[in-house]
Amino acid sequence: MHKKAINGVAGAPSAVGPYSQAVRSGQFLFASGQVGLDPATGNLVDGDVKTQARQAMENVGAVLKSQGLGFEHIVKALVFLVDIADFGAFNEVYGSYFKGDPPARSCVAVAALPKNARVEIEVIATYPS
């Protein structure tokens, strides 16, 4: 199966390891996890889980936009939270990005995330037919 690596996305942080920002395979875009990094500085944004979630979602949006997609094209999301007590606050921000039916989603608590982030979000999107 053919795949195309997506890198160098304007408005999204560069990969901090040996991975692509996203990969397109067929009708699907698999976006790597995004934390609340400021794309201009590469530093984690200051603030609580809501602030970091908002920045992570903006980073996801930049990756989607670079491929002609939007949040409405997401079919599956996977969310990692350092503290499951942040679930409600995270949902407030996350839900605001979806105008129609939200995608399928999993949310798990983890011991730690890169750069001491509180949240990481990865998505799978589909291209319109």
| pLDDT tens, position by position, 34-49 | 999 999 999 999 999 9
Helix (H) or strand (E) segment spanning residue 38: none
Q: Rounded to 10 degrees, what is the CA torsion of 19, 80, 29, 37? A: -60
For residue 111, what is the domain's CATH number? Answer: 3.30.1330.40
pLDDT category, 129, cuts 50, 70, 90?
confident
pTM for the structure as a whole: 0.96
Number of structural domains in the chain? 1
In the annotation, is 39 catalytic? no
User: What pLDDT is attached to residue 1?
Assistant: 65
* Domain with 18 in it: 4-126
Calpha distance 102→46 (Å, rounded): 27
Calpha distance 93→56 (Å, rounded): 10
Q: Catalytic pick from 102, 107, 115, 124?
A: 107
User: What pLDDT is attached to residue 118?
Assistant: 98
